[in-house]
Amino acid sequence: MPVTQRFGEGHRILVSGGAGFVPSHTVDALLARGCEVVAIDNFITGSRDNVAHLAGEPRFTLIEADLTEGLPPLPGRFDAILHMASPASPTDFTKLPMEILKVGSIGTMALLERAVEDAARFLMASTSEAYGDPLVHPQPESYWGNVNPNGIRSVYDESKRFSEAATMAYHRFHGLDTAIVRIFNTYGPRMRPDDGRAIPTFIDQALRGTPLTVQGTGAQTRSITYVDDLVRGILLLLDSREPGPINCGTEHEITMLDLASLIVRLAGSDSPIELVERAPDDPEKRRPDLTLARQKLGYEPQVGPEEGLSRTIDYFRTLSNASQ
């Protein structure tokens, strides 16, 4: 059954991490609906460039603040709060471990308290990393996961798992209107070229003509989602009455070796592919079971990998030309 739009003109939305990759696209989609949007970001991984095009938009406010130090003054009531703030790239796990842990705990609790105060719908952006290196494939929301709580990735995995637990506690104890979305590997414009994730790394290498560094044998898989598809799923969940967790992604599962080869072809590059040491706790397989998303939200991804990757390559090529 289709979800009826619940948030639009006249509604005020708070988005944490609003200058980040996925959040900034979400901000655009909310503004396109007529919402008023307030974005909070401390810019440790977010970029002002991601929201620079909104400088003259009267319905958009950008506030520089660190959620882990408490919420800044935010007068007025919010109809919905989307908690999307967190460093999320492999390089961040070693460079920003404390920041990741704090935004997933202190930051989550601060926003949940504000949601209770405002009687707002609270949407928590969780992750497929909650499943760890899964022993069940594809991963349904009922699967509890296989996470190493002491590994390098644990600061992100466990931060998000704590955020889910806190969100559900507020839902049960306070009756708060909450939602949890588990986001699978997403790509598109506004990603950081140096963020350590496979797609921006491969594209950057292909455009520079250097070897594409594929970890391990390259047989490990991911299911890659173009950012527009993800944002559509997030807003469907926001509009619904579903508490989640609900997976959001695509079933375009591809090996890292095939992904690297595809990017070389789409970029028109002659870069070779080089196998390098694999990172610890790197998941072997990752693909969402989208049954709940289809049944509860009517969600269906629309952008295929060749189209999405071509758009993303064009974006990175523009960045490269601008820096020359």
Does residue 274 lie within any of the structural domains? no
Q: Which of 156, 187, 226, 299 is catalytic?
A: 156
Position 323 pLDDT exceeds 70: no
Does residue 218 lie within any of the structural domains? no
Does residue 147 lie within any of the structural domains? yes
Percent of the chain with pLDDT over 70: 98
Does residue 152 lie within any of the structural domains? yes
**Residue 293 and residue 23: Cα distance in Å, rounded?**
20
- Banded pLDDT at 1 (limits 50, 70, 90): low
Mean pLDDT of the chain: 95
Position 246 pLDDT exceeds 80: yes
* pLDDT, position 280: 84
CA dist list (Å): 72 to 40, 60, 75, 184 = 9, 17, 9, 30
Tens-digit pLDDT profile for residues 291-308: 999 999 999 999 999 999
Does residue 244 lie within any of the structural domains? yes
Yes or no: say if 305 and 179 are a contact pair by the CB < 8 Å rule.
Answer: no
* pLDDT, position 90: 87
* pLDDT, position 283: 87
CATH number of the structural domain spanning residue 295: 3.40.50.720
Does residue 120 lie within any of the structural domains? yes
Tens-digit pLDDT profile for residues 17-67: 999 999 999 999 999 999 999 999 999 999 999 999 999 999 999 999 999
Query: What is the mean predicted confidence (pLDDT) over 275-301?
Result: 93
Based on the structure, what is the number of domains in the chain? 1
* pLDDT, position 142: 97
Position 252 pLDDT exceeds 80: yes
**Residue 274 and residue 279: Cα distance in Å, rounded?**
15
Position 137 pLDDT exceeds 60: yes
Position 319 pLDDT exceeds 90: no
Does residue 183 lie within any of the structural domains? yes
Does residue 30 lie within any of the structural domains? yes
Tens-digit pLDDT profile for residues 84-96: 999 998 889 999 9
Query: What is the mean predicted confidence (pLDDT) over 143-172?
Result: 96
Q: Which domain holds residue 155?
A: 12-188+226-250+286-303
* pLDDT, position 279: 86
156 carries an active-site annotation: yes
